[in-house]
Amino acid sequence: QVQLVESGGGLVQAGGSLRLSCAASGRTFSSNAMGWFRQAPGKEREFVSSIYWSGGSTGYADSVKGRFTISRDNAKNTGYLQMNSLKPEDTAIYYCAIHRGSYYSTNSNLYVYWGQGTQVTVSS
C-alpha cells in the first residue's frame, strides 16, 4: 500500500524557516515527479512547487519563488520543501503528492498519491 507521510510542520514567527519532509513507502517513486500543494482555511488548494523525477528541473508558484526550495532524495524515497522567510500568508496545510508521470505539473488532478498534510502556521 502506497503511503506518503509529511513531517516538519509547526508554528514559526514571520521571517523564520521550516523544512518539510515527505517520506514515501509502498513503492519507489524515483521515476515520478513530485509536488507540494497547500490549502489555507476557506481557500482552494493551490500549487506550491514541483520537481522533475531526476530533480533536474523545478517549478514554483510566484508567491513562494525565491523563498522556498524543493528537493528530493530518490535513494531515500523522500522529498523536501525548505521554506525560508515565511510570511503569515504561508499559513496552510501543506500536502506532498506524487505525479502520475515524470514531468512536473501545477495541475493537482495529475497527482495520484497524496499525503495527509502537515500544518504550517506563521505568526506575525
Helix (H) or strand (E) holding 81: strand 78-83
Cα-only R_g, the chain: 13
**Contact indicator for 100, 82 with CB cutoff of 8 Å:** no
Binned at pLDDT 50, 70 and 90, residue 2 comes out as: confident
Within 13 Å, how many C-alpha atoms sit on residue 107's CB side? 5
pLDDT at res. 56? 80
**Contact indicator for 97, 84 with CB cutoff of 8 Å:** no
pLDDT one-digit tens code per residue, 16-60:
999 999 999 988 888 899 999 999 999 999 999 999 988 789 999
pLDDT at res. 76? 92
